[in-house]
Amino acid sequence: MPAIHSQTAHELKDQMQKGAFKPSAIIEDLLARIKDIDGKTRSYTLVNGESSRSTAKGLDSSGSKGALSGVPVAIKDNICVKGEETTCASRILKGFKPPYDATVVKRLKEAGAILLGKTNMDEFAFGSSCETSCYNPTRNPWDTRRIPGGSSGGSAAAVAADETILALGSDTGGSIRQPASMCGVVGLKPTYGRVSRYGLIAFASSLDQIGPITKDVEDSALLLSVIAGHDEMDSTSVDLPVPDYKKALVKHVEGLKIGVPKEYFVKGIDPQVLRAIKKAIDLLHGLGAAVEEISLPHTEYALAAYYIVAPAEASSNLARFDGVQYGFRAGGAEDLIDMYIRTRSQGFGNEAKRRILLGTYVLSSGYYEAYYLKAQKVRTKIKEDFDNAFRDVDCIITPTSPTAAFKIGERLEDPLSMYLSDIYTIPVNLAGLPAISLPCGFTGDELPIGLQIIGKPFDEETLFRAAYTYEQNTDWHKKRPNIT
């Protein structure tokens, strides 16, 4: 039998039902794995050894039948867990312990999941490499000299390195899918409104969405089934029934119409990535899917629109962090205004300051219409592009990232180069669509490559169908990094 930590959630559930082991055995195995490996990946900001053991012992005796009973889950550090430090990997929130659980955390607990700890991330989710954390950069398990992707880099690295079974991330411009791609795991960004954002510390409220990071597509469907659904605490949560996603896990794509946008296959994409994506498309075509080239003509404006809309919302959301009621407060202030200045200057990192300044600028008098309003109009055009494409196709296939994981420090001083890492994922957030990334190959340096499948609003079922069919006809998801 494979080691406990190397198994998927659905495999662990089967083993527990057979009586092979109890939740306490799972937790002890995972905690030992974290102790051995996390010094190399630095995936976690907090590990809940005592509380996870206590939860597991309770499940040992209760025999809970919840959908995730006894399954360990890691939580990104921008999702609130009652009584546990939640910092968004920022100095300004050091010591903040939420008095409530995020809705997704509440649903995980109700399903019997065991919360292993909080995972590292780019500060306030501002980044594509997991290097802007106030703690330390997370490292890619496939090559610890390289980044794991961001901003949910800690969650993706923890899943890839078998330091957890499941993880939650958040996706504002690709922050689930891009690190999933670079770490060789599965990352799903649900439709905006499918999963409650209550208890997610906001980056850009019209773009943020919580989603699963898992070892395979079946686990992604399992975890989404638990966290999805309407929530009265979130005004953006949509009141629609949650399908049985397991029924979408069928191994056939006959009759499925796949669109391939010509704008996503242009200069700048790594030739190795391009070859892997084309092979994946050819495989699905050979399995019975119809493939046609489509156009998303406003794609070239997506990055510019995003880096106006997202920082504008971020500057507004981060205005509340001022050192008055919680978190870090700078000392030595002469008066209230001086305290604000000192606290925010010392509490925020460089990338956070950059985005706050950008956002404040585009919202300021005289520039609002020239920048923010125009970016919102472009966003509408991008959504219309997808709406038009989905009249003819069922899903769209693209690369997740134009390159595999780059080296730590390589792009940290070049913000534009860093921002371009998300060029293939950002349009999905602007349009509020669901998308999944799954492994589809490796570079010559043995670095994972991700395939992105984009779906219609609230049609995660088609994503699971296409992704599961591809996954079950390849072995990429079975490969694990050799980190010991």
Q: What is the pLDDT of residues 256-290, one digit of tens each?
A: 999 999 999 988 899 999 999 999 999 999 999 99
pLDDT digits (tens, 9 = 90+) for 165-216: 999 999 999 999 999 999 999 999 999 999 999 999 999 999 999 999 999 9
pLDDT bin (cut points 50, 70, 90) of residue 444 is very high
> Is residue 365 pLDDT above 90, yes or no?
no
The H or E element spanning position 375 is helix 374-389
Contact 148/163 with Cβ under 8 angstroms?
Answer: no
pLDDT given at position 210 = 98
pLDDT bin (cut points 50, 70, 90) of residue 218 is very high
Q: Which residues are catalytic?
A: 76, 151, 175
> Is residue 394 pLDDT above 90, yes or no?
yes
Average pLDDT over residues 316-326: 94
Architecture of the 4-258+391-478 domain: Alpha-Beta Complex (3.90)
Contact 176/159 with Cβ under 8 angstroms?
Answer: no
Contact 182/401 with Cβ under 8 angstroms?
Answer: yes
What phi and psi values does residue 265 have, to the nearest 5 degrees?
A: -120, 65
pLDDT given at position 1 = 73
What percent of the chain has pLDDT above 90? 93
Question: How many Å apart are CA 60 and CA 324, to the nearest integer?
Answer: 43
State in Å, rounded, how far the first CA of the chain is from the last one: 19
CA triple 311-315-321, angle to 5 deg:
140
Question: How many Å apart are CA 120 and CA 440, to the nearest integer?
Answer: 25
Question: How many Å apart are CA 52 and CA 443, to the nearest integer?
Answer: 37
Question: How many Å apart are CA 133 and CA 143, to the nearest integer?
Answer: 19
The two most distant CA atoms of the chain are separated, in Å, by: 71
Question: How many Å apart are CA 42 and CA 389, to the nearest integer?
Answer: 41
pLDDT given at position 266 = 81
pLDDT given at position 403 = 95
Q: Which of 217, 115, 129 is nearest to 175 (CA)?
A: 129
> Is residue 473 pLDDT above 90, yes or no?
yes
Contact 266/478 with Cβ under 8 angstroms?
Answer: no
pLDDT given at position 363 = 93
Structure tokens at 363: 């919202």
pLDDT digits (tens, 9 = 90+) for 19-37: 999 999 999 999 999 999 9
> Is residue 414 pLDDT above 90, yes or no?
no
pLDDT bin (cut points 50, 70, 90) of residue 418 is confident
Question: How many Å apart are CA 240 and CA 196, to the nearest integer?
Answer: 12
Average pLDDT over residues 360-384: 94
pLDDT digits (tens, 9 = 90+) for 101-146: 999 999 999 999 999 999 999 999 999 999 999 999 999 999 999 9
> Is residue 411 pLDDT above 80, yes or no?
yes
Q: Strand, coil or helix: what is 160?
A: helix
pLDDT given at position 31 = 98
* 395-399 and 257-261 beta bridge pairing: parallel
pLDDT given at position 413 = 79
Average pLDDT over residues 439-449: 98
